[in-house]
Amino acid sequence: MHTKSYPEAMLTLDAHHMGRAHVVASYTLLGDEPALVDPGPAGTLPNIEAELAAHGLRFTDLKHILLTHIHMDHAGATGLILERNPAIRVYVHERGAPHLVDPSRLIKSAAQLWGDQLERLWGRTIPVPAAAITSMVGGEQLQLGRRLLRAYDAPGHARHHLVWYDALSGAAFVGDNAGVRLPMVRFTRPATPPPEVDLEAWLHTLDLIAGLRPNWLMLTHFGAHADVDFHLADFRDRLLRWSELVRVGLSSGATETEQIAALQAEADAEAATLSDPEKAALTQQSGDVSLSWRGLARYWLKRA
């Protein structure tokens, strides 16, 4: 019988990105067909390896890697893991698959956001062999031993985003489509970086996730959360609030700097109930608010 103590036959691995806890999570699905969900950035691979070793596992024990999407903080380590174990099968949205095989455009796009800090932040992303990849469109079922997973097309944060639902535990691996949150803190925050934010699609994806009636939301940033109804409602409210603030700002005549400052003020006001350590940790998780402004601004300008 399912309990709310923690999803069944599963581990949360903390990648300790830049030495910080609760920033990037990877998940291990245990059983006869061990799998990683979102192995994290290339630069944190030694930390994930150490976390696996603490549970008696190695990369050579893994059979599968399931990706919610191909952004570097989620999938950047995939190629390096395949170097260690070429027998691993990688499951990814069909729109993301070409960028695993040839990550040059992904790296170029990320460099526009992170500049010369790219490799320091995320490590060295290398190609994934095409033969190791299974492309998904949503609707597929994946049987891993006694564990049945279903893939759902889930655009919003990115066009190539999947949500994975694990029938064994009732856990939904939502990537970035349910925002970021600290463990044990009832507060969510959007993460809306460019270039593929789509608000309308995102709201449909939130409806999809709610319709699965999951027992758990498994966030990459960060951890397993069982208060699903609260989380989805809180996140939807903040996502709509931020997007409307950006929309109004774009038509106001304010400068980009002033508009970003207004979104930062909104984020600060929302976080006023958090302790100072929680605010600092949330900032580390969700990144610079200016990136979220740029993603939402791009969405509204494309619509215009």
CA separation for the pair 136, 165 (Å, rounded): 14
pLDDT per residue as tens digits for the range 208-236 = 999 999 999 999 999 999 999 999 999 99
Q: Which amino acid is at 133?
A: I
Q: Which amino acid is at 55?
A: H
Q: In the predicted model, is pLDDT for residue 3 greater than 70?
A: no
CA separation for the pair 171, 111 (Å, rounded): 33
pLDDT per residue as tens digits for the range 233-289 = 999 999 999 999 999 999 999 999 999 999 999 999 999 989 988 988 888 787 789
- Give the pLDDT band of residue 2 (cuts 50, 70, 90): very low
pLDDT: which is higher, 121 or 9: 9
- Upstream peptide bond of 222 is cis (omega within 30 degrees of 0): yes
What number does CATH give the domain 10-236?
Answer: 3.60.15.10
Q: How far is CA 236 from CA 189, 203, 206, in A?
A: 10, 8, 8
Identify the pLDDT of residue 107.
Answer: 79
Q: In the predicted model, is pLDDT for residue 303 greater than 70?
A: yes
Q: What mean pLDDT value characterizes the chain?
A: 92
Q: How far is CA 131 from CA 71, 77, 89, 101, 106, in A?
A: 21, 17, 9, 9, 20
pLDDT per residue as tens digits for the range 31-63 = 999 999 999 999 999 999 999 999 999 999 999
Identify the pLDDT of residue 79.
Answer: 96
> Which residues have C-beta within 8 Å of that of residue 12, sequence separation ≥ 6?
25, 26, 27, 223, 224
Delimit the domains of the chain by residue range: 10-236
CA separation for the pair 225, 175 (Å, rounded): 13
